[in-house]
């Protein structure tokens, strides 16, 4: 049986101590690759703790790739040589950093990119000219720590009209990107909160939880969104979800699961739903999917969004809408913090929204991305016997399922050799497991010109050995 030292008077959660003890054994080599861990029940009895405590430790090790789970068999130590964060700090310092050669792609289907050619430079320049004036000298000084009132008012109005979000400007906090706001949320919710995260999902979000020493539980996603039944069985106190258009699956959280998710939140005091509404602006068929926050009547939803997709990633302006029960605690913790977004940038965006430029820009971009979506699905049509995709008609990416004996990683490498950048859907899985089923590929169509899409798909299929009649 494993020997894991536990200090019950240390103040650290016991599950975190178990996790850290096993993690160190794996890194130091005392637990070798392929070694089987004791069952959760037997290990809990040995340590004198609850099954849930051991389960949390195992789930974290599983999520970070230190161990793998084999059905009806148990948990086994993984080879962590491929994990960039697994090596001890002293080893990292001694190892020289390899110089990566920059790859030039002929066609780039990266899901995080936007169409820069359609950016409204004239309208944005006008906002800048209005502010570069001695009359705007006050914006050189620090403003409200929550963000400038003018911008928060515009965001509140926009959210109410377009997303059905019910909030006041006072509930809105402006920050320089999700990666700056999430650590504030983590501190706001306290050190012992266990977070459920979508699997697959955003790697950055899981990285932020791990970097801030928070326990995460991966919850699988299917065609109806996050599996709330599995969430209910977990020890999570908070859940991070992308209900309007899940990344990378494209699933929309079904009405039944939305209701059940609110039931989960109401089942225990203090539970929180973190709703990331990152690209809800772009839907090409039917009515927009309403935000969860607008359905919340008990202060259980913390709403999060950004202007990265709707305007530009480099603007570095994101925002969160705090539920009323968390407002007082936020001010207690962060009242001395200054806003991380320059006031001139905030004022430019506020003016851009106030004069209707933002709404006009969104309307234009919906048409631009809708045309690209249609062009992409049309280009994929002749290969339908070998390549399928979901019909989400939303967002700026498609997830392809490829009928191939090759792995997703092999398909990505073959595409790169042909000068095409694509990504494996498996890269967004939190728990490292052996690839099952057909390979899946994520195609982001935000930055690729519409006229280039047919050629790019033709070259992509050729690189995979797939012909237009669907044969490989």
Q: Looking at the chain, how many residues does it have? A: 472
Total H helices, total E strands in the chain: 15, 16
| Mean pLDDT (whole number) for 418-430 | 88
Higher per-residue confidence, 374 vs 70: 374
| Mean pLDDT (whole number) for 320-348 | 94
Task: Say if CB 321 and CB 171 are below 8 A apart.
Answer: yes
CA–CA–CA angle 67, 71, 76 (5° rounding): 25
SS (H, E, C) 220-279: EEECCEECHHHHHHCCCCEEEECCCCCCCCCCCCCHHHHHHHHHHHHCCCCCEEEEECCC
- Distance between CA atoms of 198 and 291, rounded to whole angstroms? 17
Whole-number mean pLDDT of the chain? 87
What pLDDT does 431 receive?
59
For residue 59, give the nearest of 223, 206, 240 by alpha carbon.
Answer: 206
- For 182-232, write each residue's pLDDT tens digit: 999 999 999 889 999 999 888 778 788 888 888 889 999 998 999 999 999
Q: In the structure, what pLDDT confidence band is assigned to residue 103 with cuts at 50, 70 and 90?
A: low
For residue 55, give the nearest of 245, 194, 210, 160 by alpha carbon.
Answer: 194
The share of the chain scoring above pLDDT 90, in percent, equals 55
Is residue 140 exposed (0-12), middle (13-18) or buried (19+ Cβ within 10 Å)?
exposed
In the DSSP assignment, the letter for residue 140 is: G
What pLDDT does 355 receive?
95
- For 40-66, write each residue's pLDDT tens digit: 888 888 888 888 888 888 877 876 678
CA–CA–CA angle 406, 408, 413 (5° rounding): 90
Give the chain's domains with CATH numbers: 14-94 (1.10.10.10), 107-116+362-464 (3.90.1150.10), 120-359 (3.40.640.10)
Beta strands in 6-88 (DSSP E): 67-70, 74-77
């Amino acid at each position: 049986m494993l020997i894991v030292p536990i200090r019950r008077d240390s103040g650290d959660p016991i599950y975190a101590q178990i996790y850290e003890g096993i993690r160190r054994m794996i890194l130091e080599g005392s637990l070798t690759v392929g070694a089987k861990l004791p069952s959760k029940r037997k290990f809990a009895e040995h340590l004198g703790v609850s099954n849930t405590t051991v389960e949390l430790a195992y789930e974290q090790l599983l999520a970070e790739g230190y161990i793998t789970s084999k059905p009806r068999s148990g948990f086994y130590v993984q080879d962590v040589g491929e994990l960039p964060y697994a090596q001890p700090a002293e080893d990292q310092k001694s190892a020289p950093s390899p110089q990566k050669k920059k790859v030039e792609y002929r066609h780039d289907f990266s899901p995080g990119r936007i169409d820069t050619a359609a950016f409204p430079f004239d309208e944005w320049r006008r906002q800048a000219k209005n502010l570069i004036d001695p009359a705007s000298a006050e914006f050189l000084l620090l403003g409200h720590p929550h963000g400038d009132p003018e911008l928060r008012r515009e965001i509140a109005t926009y959210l109410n009209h377009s997303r059905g979000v019910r909030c006041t400007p006072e509930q809105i906090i402006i920050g320089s990107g999700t990666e700056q706001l999430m650590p504030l949320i983590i501190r706001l919710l306290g050190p012992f909160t266990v977070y459920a995260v979508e699997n697959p999902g955003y790697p950055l979000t899981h990285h932020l939880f791990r970097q801030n020493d928070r326990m995460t539980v991966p919850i699988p996603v299917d065609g109806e969104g996050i599996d709330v039944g599995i969430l209910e069985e977990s020890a999570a106190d908070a859940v991070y979800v992308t209900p309007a258009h899940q990344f990378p699956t494209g699933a929309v959280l079904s009405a039944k699961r939305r209701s059940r998710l609110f039931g989960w939140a109401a089942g225990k005091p203090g539970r929180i739903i973190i709703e990331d509404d990152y690209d809800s602006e772009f839907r090409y068929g039917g009515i927009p999917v309403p935000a969860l926050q607008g359905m919340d009547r008990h202060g259980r939803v913390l709403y999060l969004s950004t202007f990265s997709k709707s305007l530009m990633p480099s603007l570095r302006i994101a925002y969160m809408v705090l539920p009323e029960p968390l407002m007082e605690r936020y001010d207690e913790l962060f009242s001395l913090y200054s806003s991380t977004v320059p006031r001139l940038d905030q004022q430019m965006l506020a003016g851009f929204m106030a004069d209707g430029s933002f709404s006009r820009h969104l309307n234009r971009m919906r048409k631009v991305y809708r045309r690209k979506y249609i062009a992409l699905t049309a280009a994929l049509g002749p290969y339908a016997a070998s390549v399928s995709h979901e019909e989400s008609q939303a967002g700026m990416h498609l997830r392809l399922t490829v009928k191939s004996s090759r792995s997703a990683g092999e398909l990505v490498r073959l595409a790169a050799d042909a000068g095409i950048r694509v990504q494996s859907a498996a890269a967004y899985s939190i728990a490292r497991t052996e690839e099952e089923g057909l390979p899946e590929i994520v195609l982001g169509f935000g930055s690729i010109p519409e006229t280039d899409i047919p050629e790019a798909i033709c070259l992509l299929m050729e690189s995979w050995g797939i012909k237009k009649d669907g044969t490989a």
